[in-house]
């Protein structure tokens, strides 16, 4: 049985006027299509009206973290994607 890892990924929009709801929706959709489960997304203020999105989810370990970064960074209006936390889940 494959291991599950838990991610917290910080996604920065390209500007304070970026559509966070659209980024969230597209991010969730891309992650689910590739096997993510238990997804939650939180907005946190950064500076000057800019907010970051924090995606938290379970992910099949064999798919690796590179795919997560690639999927989220290809969304329109995303400036950067940083993995904040990565840990193996215990069953």
Rounded Cα distance, 25 and 2, in Å? 27
Q: How many Å separate Cα 17 from the centre of its chain?
A: 19
| pLDDT tens figures, 37-50 | 999 999 999 988 89
pTM for the whole structure: 0.93
- Nearest CA to 9 out of 25, 31, 29 is that of 31
| pLDDT tens figures, 6-20 | 999 999 999 999 999
The two three-digit tokens of residue 52, written as one number: 């970051």
């Amino acid at each position: 049985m494959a291991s599950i890892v838990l991610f917290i990924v910080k996604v920065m929009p390209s500007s304070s006027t970026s559509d966070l709801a659209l980024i969230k929706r597209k991010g969730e959709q891309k992650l689910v299509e590739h096997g993510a489960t238990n997804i939650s997304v939180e907005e946190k203020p950064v500076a000057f009206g800019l907010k970051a999105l924090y995606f938290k989810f379970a992910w099949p370990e064999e798919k690796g973290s590179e795919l997560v970064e690639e999927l989220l960074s290809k969304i329109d209006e995303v400036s950067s994607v940083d993995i904040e936390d990565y840990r193996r889940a215990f069953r």
